A and B are shown apart, each in its own frame.
Chain A
Amino acid sequence: MGGERALTLVSLGFVAFALVVALLSNATPSPMWRSGVLLIANCLFVGSYVTSALQLLPFAAFLLLGFVVIEAVRRHPSSTAQWVGIAAITLSFIFLKKYSFLGASLALPFPYLIIGLSYVLFRVLHLLIDARQGELREPIGLLDFFNYTCNFLTFTAGPIQRFEDYRAQRQLPTALEPPLVRESFSRIAIGYVKVAVVSAIFNNLFASVSSRVLAPELARSLSNPAFVFAFAAAAVCYTVYLYYNFSGYVDIVIGVGWLCGQRLPENFNRPFSARNFLDFWSRWHMTLSDWFKTYLFNPLFKVLAARFQRPSVAPYLGVVAFFVTFLVMGVWHGTTSVFVVYGVVLGAGASLNKLWQVFIQKRLGKKAYKALSERPAAIYLSRGLTSAYFALALTCLWVNLAELQALVHRLGIVGLVACYAGLTAVTACAFVAWDRLSALLARRTTEGGAQRSTLARDFALAAQVLLIFAVSSFFHKAPEFVYRAF
């Protein structure tokens, strides 16, 4: 929707737009001026995704509903008001997102804006629950509400900033110093290298390999070991593509945010260094994980703990709470049945991870378990197991349910186990090699970093920009930003 006018992240239009917004944001140090600039920028950005006012209407109604409900709950913070509000907002969201179980008859008969709706939902629910808990003492003005929920930098796919952080920095005057500007430019360039170079290359590789697995005729021509290999290669390519695509997007919006006087939260912290599945989710899409932890896992765990008070049961309550949380998080990713499978796979990963921790600590004791988990072999094996599981789980994002069934049928139990074991071994070895290489490069960079002149930094930045343009010209189409679809 919006077609060619849409300000997509990988368009030159977006770069120019962001630059103008950054320049205008710094025209005066006044916070009010910055809010005004942000308001206009947000309107233009959201408007670029639609071609008529009608397409904006459902989205605007959803926003208005959110605003009214939050204010009502803030004024009358009762549990009933909160749950009625959550139900109204969630049901509206499900309706507008056209979840497949609703059927075609329950959909509005015209195209309308859906992009950004998921993340608006998170922000609205966050405000609503905080209002119920009395954390929103002052009313939120319409301008603040719109700028917070529809911030052009975080509109499409986060990161999910907390309202109090947004409000605190909104009131600060801007003070843009040259080192921060250099750092911002560098962060933005790295982001574009990730999106337009690395993710584009892996997207291209993924398209080639996945067609061999998904096209029935090509798949039939492969022997079973070759099929397992091709599937594993497709899973790896998609995972690398997704990571660089999303983390690149976050680098860009954080970098532009710095230029505009916004400090957006980080969303990734070296996720492939995670030693287990739960650790992984504290490093991947961190603001989403935090949101689910705050607004689903913690309340659910509290309810369960209140209901089942025997100490011996307590560790298993975490298993249940993790399963439910990850199931919901998985289902949130899409509107079709394959995302329920994704949720189950994520839930299974999280709860098995928790069960394993409970079991192994009982068996070995905390001290011995800690000692074991600090051994390099155990670390790399854990990282391999975690990354391989995540890569296989992500299959649900690139197939439909029928294709998933065909894949599982073709692989069989043996194929799936072989795939998981092979991927674990290969990724564990790759992590060893990567860590050594990174350490070597880091040492060199530290040694030479002190002497690196501003001019050298400018040329390094220019080299990245040229690389982005050169590689972009290789491909027909810039890679889509994956998370905008979620």
Chain B
Amino acid sequence: MKPILIQLARLLGALLGLYAVILALSFVLVPNDHVAGRLDTARASSSLFITEPKYVFMARGQLDSPADKVVLLGASNVMAGFKQEQVQALLPNVEVHNLAVGGSNIKQVGQVVDLVHEVQSPVARQHTEYVIGLWYGLFAADSARWNTPDRVAGDTDIDIERYRYGFYRRTDHGPEPLLPPRYLSVGAFLIHPCLALDRATRDATQSVRGFLSGKPAPLTDEQRNQAVVTPAEQAKYLAFWRDYMGSADTVSQESFRTLEHVVDSIAQGGGRVLLVDMPIPAWHSRGSALHANYRVRMDSELARLQARPGVSVARMTDANDDLDFRDEVHPKPRVAELWARQLVKSLEPALVRADNDAERPALVNAALSSTGSL
């Protein structure tokens, strides 16, 4: 028994010594300046965190401040339609953070809210207005959405980040933090070598991975603005969503209950929420039985939720011109600014209600008038 314990102790000592050296070296080679400024998951790919879920998980500590803030939540259409810098420019006296994560469903949106709450003080929570972009794709059944071969069945992308570095442990009741959220920055400090190595490896192998996976290169904004969706592509997209949602014609009932829980959770924390009924192209809404089913249920759901304190609703479904979309759900870059202005207009009453400061409406109005109106 003794030789094993001695060898274990020697290994532990060598591990600590070696890791200390690697940690110091990693900070020299890759400085820790990746989360400066407002949070914006659109910048995740150029940060040390690489992916949107990891960015949200690791960088959220910045949201624990008493400053008024707007946090954008949803899937990739929120990221494409409400660009952080454009919304921020319209709301100069409020911190605008984009925590939308591509491929999210409402369960994952709720998890992002939980992650934010974990690191926020009660005061910070009261100064947070969430914007959740809703459309039928956000209501994909968990059993269909989070059941791919590359993950433990049921794990969301956020769950994967929770477990990745051992900050959380898996239990029968879901993920439980091993590292108290208040020590998140310590955890991020300690895993810096892993983050740096991951970044360096991905950069070095980017072209090989692109070649092997056969994924096309990302489009430029100009190409996106010129995109036209052909009838064949429309059919392909509709088929994709029927498969993705876990049903060809019915949106998961469970997901609507999850939305309600998310709204409740925000309200209980003292925050506010703006539910944005996001548009999809007219051809898409006409051709999708899922959308029709969603529409009926969502109209009544929104009417019900809107009656709650701290909850407001913005309907943007009229912005559904086919020519304004580059695919089945994402708006073209040229319309993002119009969408941002419409969002800020909808946010205005909520911000006014929330803030007793007499300057607030004037600031919002000034911002809107400087960029014109829809």
List the interface of chain A (C-beta within 8 A of B). Answer: 4, 19, 22-23, 26-27, 176-178, 180-182, 185, 205, 207-209, 211-212, 218, 221-222, 233, 259, 454-455, 458-459, 461-463, 465-466, 469-470, 473-474, 476-477
Listed A/B pairs (21) with beta-carbon separation below 8 Å: A4-B170, A19-B4, A26-B1, A27-B1, A176-B1, A176-B3, A181-B6, A205-B212, A207-B149, A207-B150, A212-B214, A221-B214, A233-B212, A459-B17, A462-B11, A462-B17, A465-B11, A465-B15, A470-B193, A473-B164, A474-B198
Q: Is B14 located at the chain interface by the 8 A CB criterion?
A: yes
B329 to chain A minimum Cβ distance, whole angstroms, is: 20
User: In the complex, which residues of chain A have a beta carbon less than 8 angstroms from the beta carbon of B212?
Assistant: 205, 208-209, 212, 233
Report A-chain residues with C-beta under 8 Å of the C-beta of B160: 476
Query: Taking the complex as formed, is B261 at the interface, i.e. its CB lies under 8 A from any CB of chain A?
Result: no
Known: A178-B7, A207-B150. A462 touches B194 (CB 8 A): no
Separation of A221 and B18 alpha carbons in the complex (Å): 48
Q: A26-B1, A207-B149 are in contact. List 6 more A-B contacts (CB 8 A).
A: A207-B150, A222-B214, A458-B10, A473-B191, A473-B194, A474-B201
Give chain B nearest CB distance to A200 CB in angstroms. 12
Q: Determine the residue in chain A with the shortest Cβ distance to B193.
A: A470
Q: B residues within 8 Å of A by Cβ?
A: 1, 3-8, 10-11, 13-15, 17-19, 22, 149-152, 155, 160, 164-165, 170-172, 191, 193-194, 197-198, 201, 209, 212-214
Closest 5 CB pairs of A and B: A462-B14, A458-B14, A181-B3, A208-B212, A208-B213
Whether A470 pairs with B197 at a CB distance below 8 angstroms is yes
Whole-angstrom distance between the Cβ of B87 and the nearest chain A Cβ: 31
Structural contact, A466 and B18, CB atoms closer than 8 A: yes
Q: Do A470 and B4 have beta carbons less than 8 Å apart? A: no
Known: A466-B18, A466-B22. A182 touches B150 (CB 8 A): no
A463 adjacent to B4 (CB under 8 Å): no
Bound CA–CA A288/B131 (angstroms): 60
How would you classify the secondary structure of chain A's contact residues: helix, strand, loop or mixed? Answer: helix
**Interface of chain B, helix or strand or loop or mixed?**
helix
Contact A208 B4, beta carbon cutoff 8 Å: no
B12 to chain A, nearest CB (A): 9
| Cβ contacts under 8 Å, B152 to chain A | 477
The CB with the most chain A CB atoms within 10 A, among B7, B13, B151, is that of: B7
Q: Please give the distance in Å from B4's CB to the nearest CB on chain A.
A: 6
Q: Is the CB of B213 within 8 A of A212?
A: yes
Indicate if the CB atoms of B3 and A178 lie closer than 8 Å.
Answer: yes
In the complex, what residues of B have CB within 8 A of residue A209's CB?
Answer: 212
**Residues of chain A lying within 8 A (CB to CB) of residue B172:** 4
**Contact between A182 and B7 (Cβ–Cβ < 8 Å)?**
yes
Task: Please measure, in the bound complex, the distance between the C-alpha atom of A474 and the C-alpha atom of B196, giving whole angstroms.
Answer: 11
Give B150's nearest chain A residue, CB to CB. Answer: A476
Chain A residues within an 8 Å CB radius of B7: 178, 181-182, 185
Q: Which residues of B contact A27 (CB under 8 A)?
A: 1
Interface pair A176/B19, CB less than 8 Å apart? no
| Residues in B whose Cβ lies below 8 Å from that of A222 | 214
Chain A residues whose CB sits within 8 angstroms of the CB of B18 once the complex forms: 459, 462-463, 466
Contact of B209 among A208, A463, A466 (CB under 8 A): A208
Contact B14 A459 (CB under 8 A): yes
Contacts of A469 in B (CB 8 A): 194
**What are the residues of chain A within 8 A of B22 when measuring CB–CB?**
466
Whether A26 contacts B4 by the Cβ 8 Å rule is: yes
Complex Cα–Cα for A208 and B22 (A): 31
Closest Cβ–Cβ distance, residue A323 to chain B (whole Å): 35
Task: Find chain B residues with CB under 8 A from A221 CB.
Answer: 214
Report how far A26 CA is from B4 CA in the complex, Å: 9
Chain A hits for B11, CB < 8 A: 185, 458, 461-462, 465
Q: Which chain A residue has the least Cβ–Cβ distance from B161?
A: A476
User: What is the CA–CA distance of A176 and B160 in the complex, to the nearest angstrom?
Assistant: 40
Contact of B151 (CB < 8 Å), options: A178, A207, A463, A477: A477
* Chain A residues positioned under 8 Å from B209 (CB to CB): 208
